[in-house]
Structure 1
């Protein structure tokens, strides 16, 4: 089984920030990683449960994992091809 954690190129912790800051931080971070690499995100903002999937859908990235059952929320986004 493939371990996505091996492909994490960057981790960002958005805990303590509220909408729209987490998405702004994610957008900046994903610009600075290579296509196909993984961004790992920690968050405690409930709005990220809808904002991150929407961000991925509209920006062409792949949300490969999310854990939103307890804090901190965790997300793995695979950067789409430019």
Structure 2
């Protein structure tokens, strides 16, 4: 029996080095091509992403599963509505 974990199905999106509004625009673009329930992990270095990504999720109805500070920026895990 094979058991899939959340980590197996997470799509990683490395947006480090991009400035506002690109992290939100690229996250929106990636989610648009995925089916409902898909999960992406977004890595950013833009300090505004800690405000912009949660706002984007709220506005578009996506679930912000995780938001955390990393050594170089922020990590977000988003589940598509």
TM bucket normalised to smaller: 0.7 to 0.9
**SS in structure 2 at match of 1:33:** coil
Query: Could you tell me the TM-score, scaled by structure 1's length?
Result: 0.85
In structure 2, what is the equivalent of residue 25 of structure 1? 26
In structure 2, what is the equivalent of residue 38 of structure 1? 39
The 8 Å contact of residues 47 and 73 in structure 2, kept in 1 or not, is answered as no
CA RMSD of aligned residues (A): 1.3
In structure 1, what is the equivalent of residue 59 of structure 2? 58
- Aligned residue pairs total 77
Task: Please identify runs of 4+ aligned residues in structure 1 that moved more than 4 A.
Answer: none
CA distance in 2, matches of 1:64, 1:72: 17
In the TM superposition, residue 66 of structure 1 has moved relative to its aligned partner by 1.0
**SS in structure 1 at match of 2:72:** coil
CA distance in 2, matches of 1:66, 1:4: 16
Structure 1, unaligned runs of 5 or more: none
In structure 1, what is the equivalent of residue 9 of structure 2? 7
In the TM superposition, residue 6 of structure 1 has moved relative to its aligned partner by 3.4
Query: Could you tell me the TM-score, scaled by structure 2's length?
Result: 0.86
